[in-house]
Amino acid sequence: MDVNQNISIKRVSTGKRSRERLKTFLTPAKKRGSNSTDSTPMADVQHAEYCSDNEDLFGGYDSILEDSSILAKLDSLETQKVQHDDYSSSDNKPEDHQSAGFTSVRSPRTTTGNQVRKDCFTDSTLNGLEEEHFADLPASQLAFQEIFKNTKEQNVNATVDKTSTPLKDFPKRMESEIKQDGTVNKDNRQAHKPKVRKSISDHLKRTMLLNAVAPITVSRSVEQKEAVVSEEINVALQTMQTVSSQTTDLGPFFGLPTKVKDILLKLKGIKSLYDWQETCLNLDCVQRRKNLIYSLPTSGGKTLVAEILILKELLCRKKDCLFILPYVSLVQEKVRGLASLGLELNFMVEEYAGSKGKFPPVKRRTSKSLFIATIEKAHSLVNSLIETNRLDNLGLVVVDELHMLGDGARGAIIEMTLAKLLYMSKATHIIGMSATLGNIKDIQTFLNAENYTNDFRPVQLKEYVKLKDTIYDVDPKEEECFKLSRPLNYKYSSGMQKIDPDHIIALVTEVIPTHSCLIFCPTKKNCENVASMICRYLKEDFLRHREAEKSILLKELRDSGNGNMCPVLRRTVPFGIAYHHSGLTTEERKLVEEAYSSGVLCLLTCTSTLAAGVNLPARRVILRSPFVATEFLKRSQYKQMVGRAGRAGIDTEGESILILQEKEKMMAKSLVCAPVENCYSNLMYDDGKGILSLILSLIGLNITTSLEQLKDFLSGTLLSVQEKQLCVKKSLWDSALECVEVLKEKGLITVKGDAQDVTLQVTRLGKATYKGSVDLTYSGMLYSDLSRGLEGLLLNSYLHLVYLVTPYDLISHCKPQWMVYLRQFTLLSASEQKMSAAVGVTESFVARKAAGQTVKQKIDMLVVNRMYLAMVLFSLLKETNLWSVAEKFQLSRGFIQTVLSSASAFCSCVLHFTEELEEFWPYKALLSELTRRLTYCVQAELIPLMEVAGVMESRAKQLYNAGYKTLAHLANADPSVLSKAIENLYKKQASQIVASAKMLLNEKASALQEAVDDLLMMPSSTTVELT
């Protein structure tokens, strides 16, 4: 035996591990490198893919890490005893251990020739080993100790077996050996005289191997994978902290665990990233966490880059993230899409849209949150984090459609939010996704950001215009900007020519039903008319295309309306055609969108809002006119519409066709060939409403308490960057001083001190205004209405409360029909009519208006119109049937849906407004319940199900009737079983619903646990002294 042979046992440490050692058996072979072919003896044992500290076969017993291992010591003791007693055994042949599936790892000298050595262990040798301390040994070595005690009594000679390591068939053979241990050993003892036993080192190794294959309560493969994921996160963290400008590889998947890549493949089918996405993620500014704006055409894959950066922040840096989207529908879609990812990777996905969202958000100790918010809710969320000194917990803010900075009042809110983030937190990373802008440098200066631009599109886009019956290519290089392409080849009768002078039928039948098509129309009514007109001239073959699925869609549309259905959709859906605009209810729009995405519908006629909303691409996009209502299209709107052409992974190309009249030709040139538009600050929009709101919130949040601080803050806004262009008549600072005076006059702030030392403070009304996100125009009016309401608040009906939360900004959109008004007024109870008279609307006034008489008394028509809208909402709360209410009040169901969603959002604002004013304490509990009722507007038992993202009323009824009556029932449902139990529910949809329910349930449970922890937490600084 070679005494100098070392048996080294390498132990993996999670604390200090080089990147090379990260290349585990779970890492693909191409990433391990050519030298990673496993040559270790355990390579073929499938369950031993990776060994971490938690799976150390020696249970953490560190004595084996010394220079001389236990096995080497045992071999040394054996050698010392037998070195003078070697026997010659040339007449005996060695046993063939190779046939038993073992490979020798001893020195060749110990087995050269036909020599066999007796094991000469004596009691003195064993007694010497007993001096070792075994008290703290783990299970594997305690098992050895037991065997050791049993073999101590057997002081016999034995032949020395070869030290061996199991091959891939070892576990099965070892199990057989264990079962037959008694009989086999007995036979061996009878066959070999004198009795033999194995060496102590073999006993120890055999025991360790038995322990390795022994069943354990926790799946070792699960533990191994978790160890790899944890290790990769740790390495990504260390790499991010030490990354240099030359470093591009941050880890297995852009600094994220390999598990993330697997999940993206599983949930989204993403196998690899586009080249531009990899380039963007490896930018130096991204690795160094500098602010970034990246611009690409529509459908270029911008969102995936943002999601990967969000996951890095959540998993690696352990910080919360905020994802700002422009519309409620996009927020809900994103919440549904990311819920499964959150469950897999243990982070919360929280919705902030409409009336949903908690301010400040729940402070979570064990997991981080991704807040997905609309523009308005994001601003309120940032305000609440600043107020509670928690802004540093927000590691990343992603803004989709950053070019909306130039979009009126909503653009002003985006600017306010970003300016506060830049001023208050140097650690919060800002990422903006934008359309291509002409003055992107201004936005870069404002955000202190770098810019990445690429013109990549996954599907090539070809732009055309149509004049008369000819198609022209859009070619900016041409002098006329248009180049002849082809004539239309479609025979029109004289009757068809009159009905369809723009040849829309010819254009759509070139692609449908095999491919999809979108037609953007200037008005909602035009959408319905075009859809009906096309169906009149389509062949019957269109009716047979996916006929069964279209029948299911018709049934779902009928169910969503409680038996009612739009006559236009009833006529067009069988042909695979539908319209899409704000006149549809939320549920109808969702059903139409899903049917179009799945190919059941092949053509949608829609307004421009669809281009900015949910992603619904098409093979061909047709612009019915270069106008939206009466306004000529902006280039950004045009690009957004034509950007829907071409479906990645489905189409090889996409095409857009703009229909023009001869008189529109010159204007169209500037639309399709002009340079991209510029983006300007909107803080001064609508007589400076934006800057007024900004200054009020800055003072209220104690961000600026003096004029010097206010001036310093305003110097960091986009308005300051563009002051020369936008502040021509007066400087930005002069405008700010005027705003301070206006706020003082309104009683929203106080100004104390002399001219050299001015202190700005917010009043109670001012604080309530900015915390409730109430428009400054209406804050005084709201306070007055709520104060008068307390004098005679009607509590036996919702009508009075509903009136108080009816949005002021919708009043101008409503013109009552007086006969309808009178009919519905007479149906009110006596107490409700009395309440109406108290606010200024009497039955006599309504009756005179209905009779066409002149009313001499002075009546506030804003109050009258507001009461009419309040009666609409009140009827909706009582009946919960939108169709019947629309019929009663002779209003479109889409408008009523808009009133309802606006009222629920405004009710939430009024609730926050009253919470800041002690005199309005009675409203707090009342408005909390009313907000919930307005948000869902269904029977009470369906509300828990409708809290789940993507579950509408008809689906909630199906779930409730199928036995899924609570959030817990839905969260614990099997998607396969659920899709079978619910009619017309695809498994993918079922999986999204279950994931969303689980996420919501986790959020609520986590919030309750955090509240419990806060209650049980020991005071940190307060001490109680007993005397």
Residues 611-645 have pLDDT tens digits of 777 778 899 999 999 998 888 888 888 988 998 89
User: In the prediction, which pLDDT does 15 show?
Assistant: 43
pLDDT score of 250 = 41
pLDDT band at 83 (very low <50, low <70, confident <90, very high): low
pLDDT category, 223, cuts 50, 70, 90? low
The first and second tokens of residue 197, run together, are: 């036993």
Read off the pLDDT of each residue in 507-521 and give the average, rounded to a whole number.
93
Predicted confidence at residue 240, as pLDDT, reads: 55
pLDDT of 580 higher than 60: yes
Average predicted confidence (pLDDT) for the chain: 80
Q: Residue 544 half-sphere exposure, CB side, CA atoms within 13 Å?
A: 3
- Residue 71 is predicted with a pLDDT of 56
Provide the strand spans (E) within 380-495. 394-399, 429-434, 450-453, 460-467, 470-474, 482-487
Residue 858: pLDDT band (50, 70, 90) is: confident
Beta carbons of 404 and 683 less than 8 angstroms apart: no
- CA 145, 151, 157 angle in degrees (round to 5)? 140
CA separation (Å) from 58 to 61, 142, 204?
6, 11, 11
- Average confidence (pLDDT) over 1005-1012: 86
Assess contact for 598 and 635: CB atoms under 8 A: no
Q: What is the mean pLDDT of residues 716-726?
A: 95
pLDDT value of residue 89 = 44
At residue 389 the predicted structure's pLDDT band, cuts being 50, 70 and 90, is very high
Q: What is the pLDDT of residue 171?
A: 45
Torsions phi, psi for 518 (to 5 deg) = -120, 135
Token pair for 994: 């279950």
Which has more confidence, 345 or 116?
345
Q: What is the pLDDT of residue 211?
A: 60
Which neighbouring-strand residues pair with 750? 761
Task: State how beta strands 749-752 and 631-632 pair.
Answer: unpaired
pLDDT digits (tens, 9 = 90+) for 803-821: 999 999 999 888 899 999 9
The mean pLDDT of 751-777, rounded to a whole number, is 90
Residue that is written with structure tokens 């689980």 in the block = 998
Which pLDDT score is estimated for 187? 46
| Residue 251: per-residue pLDDT | 54
Digit-coded pLDDT (tens) for 833-850: 999 999 999 999 999 999
pLDDT of 391 higher than 50: yes
**Residue 928 banded pLDDT, cuts 50, 70, 90:** very high
Segment 162-187 mean pLDDT: 44
pLDDT digits (tens, 9 = 90+) for 289-317: 999 999 988 778 889 999 999 999 999 89
Between 437-451, 474-488, 906-920, the lowest mean confidence (pLDDT) is in: 474-488
Helix axes 685-700, 707-714, angle to 10 degrees: 120
CA–centroid distance for 95 within its chain: 65
Q: Could you report the per-residue pLDDT of 324-368, keeping only the tens digit for each? A: 999 988 999 899 989 999 999 999 999 999 889 999 998 888 889
Residues counted in the chain: 1027
- Say if residues 26 and 49 touch (Cβ distance below 8 Å): yes
For the cut 80, the answer to whether the pLDDT of residue 116 exceeds it is no
Ranking 154-163, 723-732, 953-962 by mean pLDDT, the lowest is 154-163
Mean pLDDT for 402-431 is 94
pLDDT at 149: 55
Which region, left, alpha or beta, applies to residue 775 given φ > 0 means left and ψ of -120 to 50 means alpha? beta
Q: What pLDDT does residue 60 have?
A: 40
pLDDT reported for residue 262 = 87
When mean pLDDT is compared across 32-36, 748-752, 917-921, 1013-1017, the lowest value belongs to: 32-36
Residue 917: count of CB within 10 angstroms of its CB: 17
In 753-881, beta strands by DSSP E: 759-762
Answer yes or no: are the C-beta atoms of 620 and 515 closer than 8 Å: yes
Q: Which long-range contacts (CB under 8 A, 24 or more apart) does 9-14 make?
A: 9/58, 9/64, 9/65, 9/69, 11/53, 11/56, 11/65, 12/51, 12/52, 12/53, 13/53, 14/52, 14/53, 14/227, 14/230, 14/231, 14/234
* pLDDT interval class at 221 (50, 70, 90): low
pLDDT band at 801 (very low <50, low <70, confident <90, very high): very high
Predicted local confidence at residue 235, as pLDDT:
61
Closest among 772, 773, 699, 784 to 742, alpha carbons compared: 699
Task: Give residue 709's pLDDT.
Answer: 95
Contacts of 595 (CB under 8 A, 6+ apart): 549, 553, 578, 601
Strands 603-606 and 164-166: unpaired
- Res 23: pLDDT: 44
- Report residue 84's pLDDT band, with 50, 70 and 90 as the boundaries: very low
Instruction: Give the pLDDT score at 194.
Output: 46
Mean pLDDT of 526-555: 92
The pLDDT-based confidence of 44 (bands split at 50, 70, 90) is very low
Q: Return the half-sphere exposure (C-beta side, CA atoms, 13 A cut-off) of residue 488.
A: 23
The least confident of 509-513, 543-547, 931-935, 1009-1013 is 1009-1013
268 compared with 215, residue with greater pLDDT: 268
Percent of the chain at pLDDT > 90 equals 49
Q: How confident is the model at residue 238 (pLDDT cuts 50, 70, 90)?
A: low
What pLDDT sits at residue 229?
Answer: 63
The whole-number average pLDDT for the span 929-952 is 90
Look-up of token digits 């409708």: 946
Higher pLDDT, 417 or 560: 417
Q: E strands, 846-1001, where?
A: none
Q: How confident is the model at residue 133 (pLDDT cuts 50, 70, 90)?
A: very low
CA distance 142 to 204: 10
Q: What is the mean pLDDT of residues 117-132?
A: 44
Alpha helices of 650-798 — where are they, by DSSP H? 665-673, 685-700, 707-714, 718-721, 723-726, 732-745, 764-771, 776-791
- The pLDDT assigned to 1021 comes to 55
pLDDT band, residue 224 (cuts 50/70/90): low
pLDDT attached to residue 248? 36
